[in-house]
Amino acid sequence: MTTTAVEDLLRALTPQVLGALVRRQGQFEGCEDAVQEAVLAAAVQWPAEGVPDSPRGWLMTVSSRRLIDQMRSDHARRERESATAAEAPPEDVPGTDDTLVLLFLCCHPTLTGASATALTLRAVGGLTTAEIARAFLVPEATMAARISRAKQRIKAAGSTFSLPADAEREERLRVVLHVLYLIFNEGYTASSGGELDRPDLAREAIRLARMVHAQLPEDGEVTGLLALMLLTHARREARTTPAGDLVPLAEQDRACWDRGLIDEGTELAKASLAGPALGPYQLQAAIAATHADAATAEETDWPQVHAAYLILERIAPNPMVTLNRAVALAETEGPRAGLALLATLDCDERMAGHHRLLSVRAHLLEKAGDSAGAYEHYRRAAKSTASLAEQRYLESRASRVRP
């Protein structure tokens, strides 16, 4: 088996083994460290020596032994160590899939979005601390400390390895979906660095979303989030030139879009809208499906897109939603209408100096014929983003409209 295939297998098995070990031993932090050590050992051994007949059982056995070793080295846990060491290491993982329970634990409400994201990628995604640190462009020591603090915070909160009670479950699920959404967004458009995207993160978010959807197939928001990811990721190949420069949606070669992902995402988007409730991910998926349905940018049903953003703005107010609605409004009523809506965001502290607000305003000023205003805002937007790919694109737009 190739190294890539082994990595894919380990990422799929990690949450299963970790969930089983935590359920058995009741301590998340120690179990998580033990499983990570076993995964690292497998990543080295399996490509060279072959994958064992029962890879889950191998990981479970090695993880259990590593956990016992940890307990033996901790004198404060002698009694627990004696009880655990007396048991034979399990040969395989029980049939119960605890992935959803593990996701709920990693997305504990006491954690910040950044901490929950890092912990989810490590514990559920099976990524090493070094891989996560590289993805978010921070030193490995910084990421290790962030993950360690997250585990300590969960421990201090007295969390148990079980699904939250019904009253809390829906709220916690929203946190889980938000964390997966954050991972996907960082993968689709990196917040900093030389590359426009980080496809490994986007693919990991999709894989985790598929896991959640497999366990909660009737949940409209879960289905909507997966649909949104698939429909958005389908455009990846058309988003950059061979040199790595950004290509905006209106200028993309739609023949390069992944039709398989679009077809799957469209069906999921339709299914997500069949239920009685309507949430933000379902609406965003419907918007993405509308774009995917248009053979050319000119054929986009902008009134439908704008109507969806109006509903989204009503049920989940957010300045980014208003920003996107301004783009749709400009397509239906002209750039001046879009600029007037953008003006309502000028007093929002969350958008102060944000490069997306500056770039959208520049785009609408260009459409309105105000080259000087567009040039100024493109330049300001380029200086406000840490993404080199976006900087290059915005500077090229500024050069094109320079008075």
Q: Which helix (H) or strand (E) holds 128?
A: none
Query: Is residue 390 classed exposed, middle or buried when 0-12, 13-18 and 19+ CB atoms within 10 A define those classes?
Result: buried
Higher pLDDT, 151 or 233: 233
Share of the chain above pLDDT 90, in %: 46
Compute, in degrees rounded to 10, the torsion defined by CA atoms 294, 295, 299, 300.
30
Alpha-helix residue ranges (DSSP H) falling in 86-189: 99-106, 113-123, 129-135, 140-156, 166-188
Phi, psi of 247, deg, nearest 5: -115, 120
User: Does residue 188 surpass a pLDDT of 70?
Assistant: yes
Query: CA 395 to CA 312: how far, in whole Å?
Result: 32
pLDDT band with cut points at 50, 70 and 90 for residue 81: very low
What pLDDT does residue 75 have? 52
The residue with greater pLDDT, 377 or 39, is 377
Whole-angstrom distance, CA of residue 351 vs CA of residue 343: 11
pLDDT at site 167:
72
Residue scoring higher pLDDT (131 or 197): 197
Rounded Cα–Cα distance for residues 120 and 145 (Å): 15
Helix (H, G, I), strand (E, B) or coil at 186: helix
CA atoms within 13 A on the CB side of 368: 21
Sequence-separated (6 or more) residues with CB below 8 Å from residue 238: 247, 252, 253, 254, 256, 257
Query: In the predicted model, is pLDDT for residue 77 greater than 80?
Result: no
Contact by Cβ (8 Å): 214, 360: no
Query: Cα–chain-centroid distance for residue 242?
Result: 25
Residue 296 has pLDDT above 60, yes or no: yes
CA distance linking residue 123 with residue 147, whole number of Å? 10
Most confident of 101-115, 221-235, 270-284: 221-235
pLDDT at 84 over 60: no
Q: What is the mean pLDDT of residues 153-175?
A: 80
Q: Tens digit of pLDDT for each residue in 299-325?
A: 999 999 999 999 999 999 999 999 999
- Quick one: pLDDT band at residue 96, thresholds 50, 70, 90? low
Separation of alpha carbons 145 and 153, rounded Å: 12
Fold (topology level) of 303-403: 1.25.40
Judge whether 143 and 118 are in contact, CB under 8 Å. Answer: yes
| Whole-number average pLDDT of the chain | 88
Which two structure tokens, joined as six digits, stand for 19?
Answer: 């969930």
Q: How far does the chain reach from its first CA to its final CA, in angstroms?
A: 59
Residue type, 215: Q
93 pLDDT above the threshold of 70: no
21 or 282: whose pLDDT is higher? 282
What are the start-end ranges of the E strands in 185-301? 192-193
Answer whether residue 231 shows pLDDT above 60. yes
Q: Any idea what DSSP says for residue 299?
A: G
pLDDT of residue 281: 97
pLDDT at 255 over 90: yes
* 222 contacts 176 by C-beta, under 8 angstroms: no
**Stretch 96-112: mean pLDDT:** 81
Where along the chain do its domains lie? Answer: 3-85, 303-403
Predicted confidence (pLDDT) at residue 186 exceeds the cutoff of 90? no
Query: What pLDDT does residue 48 have?
Result: 85
- Alpha-carbon distance 146 to 129, whole Å? 10
pLDDT at position 91 is 46
Residue 327: the pLDDT is 97
Q: Confidence band (pLDDT; 50, 70, 90) for 97?
A: low
The stretch 245-250 carries a mean pLDDT of 94
Q: pTM value?
A: 0.81
Provide the pLDDT for residue 321: 96
Distance of alpha carbon 78 from alpha carbon 65, whole angstroms: 15
253 three-class SS: coil
Token pair listed for 22: 């935590």
242, 250, 290 from 253: Cα distances, Å: 13, 9, 17
pLDDT, tens digit, 9 for 90 and up, residues 5-61: 888 888 888 888 888 888 887 778 788 888 888 888 888 889 888 898 889 899 889
Q: Mean pLDDT across the stretch 186-215?
A: 88
Q: What are 373's two structure tokens?
A: 């205003």
Model pLDDT, residue 85: 47
